Amino acid sequence: MMIQSGGAEMPAEWRTIRSAPASGAYNMALDSALMAAATERGFGVWRTYAWSTPTVSFGRHESIRQRFTAESLAAAGLDAVRRPTGGRALLHDAEVTYSVTLPISDSTPWKAVYSAINNILLSALQSMGVAAELVPESATSPVRPDGPVCFEEPSPGEIVVRGAKLSGSAVWRERGAYLQHGSILLHDSQQRLQAAMIPSAGATVVPRAASLATCLPSVPDADAVATALENALRRALADRHSPGGSVTRDDGALPDAGLIGRHEERFRDPTWLWRR
C-alpha cells in the first residue's frame, strides 16, 4: 500500500532499525542492500546508525584524488569509504546518521521524495527544540560533485540553523528503489577534514557547521534523536490520513546476509574508493 506524502508516493508500511556502530564499508553495504531489497519487500526502512571509527565518506561521483590520499587520511587518523549516493566529502564522527530506503515508481519524481523526507527530518529536529529550517529551492545553485566539502555550502532542501548546515543528505535512485542518507551532527568535528587534505589541495577552509550541541541546552543521545525521527515519520503518515499506515521498530529487518556481503566487497575495494 502506498500513500501520498508531501506530493510524493510513499509506502504506508515502515520498519525502523537502530544499528550498532560499524565500519564505513559495512554501513554503506547495508544501505545499498536495503535499497536493492526495497522493491521486492515493498515497505520503507528508516535506519539510524553510527560509525565505529571516524570515517570520511566521499560522494559517488566526487573527484578526490587531487585533494586526498590514503596516506593523508591515515595520518589524520581517519578511515574512508565512497558512498553509493552523490554529494561531497563528509566526516562521520559525533553524529547520528540516518538512511531511508523505499520502492519508488517511475512516475514519482525523486525530488518529491527528497522533499518529503527532509520535512520529516525538519519535524523531528523542531520537536526537540531546534530552530531549524529548510533551504528553499531558490536560495542556492546546485553544488558540483567536485565542489566544496559537504558542510561548507548547504544545498536546496537541506536543513540549516541560522544559515549553517545542520544536516547534510545524499540520494541515489535506480531499478525502482530510492536511497537517501545523511548526518545530523551532535558535535561539529568537520574541521578535521582540513588536516586530512594534501597540501597541494589548496586552502580549502571548512567552516563551522551547526550541531545539536550549539542548538540545544544539552546534547541528546543517539537514541533520543532516533526516537524523534521515528515519531516524526509516524506523524507524517498520520497527516496523510492513511488507515493502513504503520511504523514498526524491527532491528532484525535486514536483507539477506549474503546480499550485504556482496555489497560490502565493493565498498572495501580500493578501486571503488579511488575511482576518481
For the segment 109-131, the average pLDDT, to the nearest whole number, is 96
Query: Cβ neighbours of residue 69 under 8 Å, at least 6 residues apart?
Result: 198
Cβ burial of 166 (10 Å; 0-12, 13-18, 19+) is buried
Three-state secondary structure call for residue 174: strand
Q: What is residue 143's predicted lDDT score, i.e. its pLDDT?
A: 53
For the segment 9-37, the average pLDDT, to the nearest whole number, is 96
* Calpha distance 66→200 (Å, rounded): 8
Q: Select from 201, 189, 176, 231 the least CA-distant residue to 93.
A: 189
Cα-flanking dihedrals φ and ψ of residue 165, to 5°?
-70, 135
Which position has the grid cell 580500493? 270
148: pLDDT strictly greater than 90: no
Chain centre to alpha carbon of residue 169: 5
Q: Residue 275 domain-assigned?
A: no
Q: Residue 182 domain-assigned?
A: yes
Q: Residue 219 domain-assigned?
A: yes
CATH code where residue 84 lies: 3.30.930.10
Pairing of strands 55-58, 95-103: unpaired
Cα-flanking dihedrals φ and ψ of residue 115, to 5°?
-65, -40
In tens, the pLDDT along 245-265 reads: 799 999 999 999 999 999 999
124: pLDDT strictly greater than 60: yes
Q: How far is CA 134 from CA 115, 122, 150, in A?
A: 10, 7, 16
Q: What is residue 154's predicted lDDT score, i.e. its pLDDT?
A: 67
Q: What is residue 230's predicted lDDT score, i.e. its pLDDT?
A: 97
Q: Residue 273 domain-assigned?
A: no
What value does the mean pLDDT of the chain take? 89
* Calpha distance 77→196 (Å, rounded): 8
Q: Residue 276 domain-assigned?
A: no
Q: What is residue 231's predicted lDDT score, i.e. its pLDDT?
A: 97
* Per annotation, catalytic residue among 28, 78, 130, 150: 150
Please answer whether residues 209 and 158 qualify as being in contact, where contact means their C-beta atoms are separated by less than 8 angstroms.
no
* Calpha distance 248→241 (Å, rounded): 17
Q: Residue 64 domain-assigned?
A: yes
Q: Residue 159 domain-assigned?
A: yes
Q: Residue 117 domain-assigned?
A: yes
Helix-helix angle 222-239:110-127, to 10 degrees: 120
Three-state secondary structure call for residue 36: helix
243's grid cell? 488507515
150 is catalytic: yes
Confidence (pTM): 0.91
Q: Where is average pLDDT lowest: 31-40, 127-136, 234-243, 249-258?
A: 234-243
Domain count, the chain: 1
In tens, the pLDDT along 212-243 reads: 999 999 999 999 999 999 999 999 998 865 56
Question: Domain range holding 189?
Answer: 2-266
Which position has the grid cell 541515489? 172
201's grid cell? 589541495
For the segment 30-51, the average pLDDT, to the nearest whole number, is 97
* Calpha distance 26→267 (Å, rounded): 8
Which position has the grid cell 523505499? 102
Cβ burial of 45 (10 Å; 0-12, 13-18, 19+) is buried
